[in-house]
Amino acid sequence: MKTSKSIALSKKSGLTAISPDTDFRNQTVLITGGGDGIGASEARFLHQMGAHIIALDIQEKKLEALKEDLGHDRITTIVFDLSQTDEQAYKTLGQTIAAAAPNGKIDAYIMSAGVVKLTNGKGVSGISAHELRTMTQINAYSHADIFREIAGNLAEDARIVVTSSPIVGRSDINTPAYAISKGTLEAIANNIAGELAGTNKKVIGFVPPPVQNFLRKDLKPHEPYYAHPEGPDIAELPARLASKNLRAEFNGKVIAMAYDHLRQKDAKTPDGHSFDFMPRDKVTNGFVYDLRIRDFATTGGDSGIDFQQWGTSSSREIQGLGKTPDMKIDKGLDEIYDTPAHVSQFRAPDI
């Protein structure tokens, strides 16, 4: 689908209450974790809307595949390990990012990279100090490190989009480092918002639901592939938040895709494995979510005040991807995904 047609569709379909359209022509968007998962889906969506994409990831082959998929036009890929703490490395990275932007300016910065460690109920005592610190560096501090280096290169009306998690604010003994690090990221975002107060720059967060990728595989290895959405299904929300015409009232807010109260639980595959799944709109076949809105650093997760209901079908429609596929229980997550090496190093030995 041509960019102009996608932009035209975005003016009449989907989350127009957040931004009237998703026109990213002549804009540069930086996405961490852009080689895989939700980040890669955001990269594809925004590229479709005309953006020049700077995708940063540790997975070189995934970045190469993304560039190939997008036709090598309006995309720059940067291989970088976010677990490192060397200040000079981030200074050099900042210079590389600025050089990759056609006019030296970053119009939107999407903080998407993250890893999860499962402790199998052992809580904080079940992870080493090294793992906790490294995961917090990847999920939170690295984004502050990048912001510090590119702050002077942000466009006057730049948007910073923070990918949070429904687990923020919870006491979850299975993923404590993830909850802690994502909570830290929100605290960083809240402070960046304070720093940028009085400017035309905006800081916005969003909470995605469980998405079908390698992370979901580790949590529910026998789950049917289309029990939950794929990245393209939910890419519209972060794209709207990154838009130049994002409505001012969303600055400093987090929009969560609330799902837990909606999903159907304790379903069974024919061989007896249990799973849950998100309901579908009977007309569009898209997944249905209740969007909630809250401030940064308050309550957390997917809590907040009900904002509006949203069906994911508009995300695929704008991208020209057709209807959301039906759930087929003969196609499981464990048949599709392998956990990347940079994530598997944080896994408990029996996962």
Q: How far apart are CA 215 and CA 119, in angstroms?
A: 14
Beta-strand pair 75-79/106-111: unpaired
**Taking 80 as the threshold, does the pLDDT of residue 350 lie above it?**
no
Position 351 confidence tier, pLDDT thresholds 50, 70, 90: very low
Residue 264: strand pairing partners: 277
Q: Is the pTM of this model over 0.85?
A: yes
* Minimum mean pLDDT range among 56-65, 159-168, 323-332: 323-332
Position 347 confidence tier, pLDDT thresholds 50, 70, 90: low
pLDDT in tens, 72-117: 899 999 999 999 999 999 999 999 999 999 999 999 999 999 888 7
Instruction: Set out the domains of the chain in order of their start, with CATH numbers.
Output: 3-344 (3.40.50.720)
Average pLDDT estimate for 125-135 = 88
Average pLDDT estimate for 276-289 = 95
**Taking 80 as the threshold, does the pLDDT of residue 140 lie above it?**
yes
Higher confidence at residue 273 or residue 229? 229
Percent of the chain having pLDDT more than 70?
97
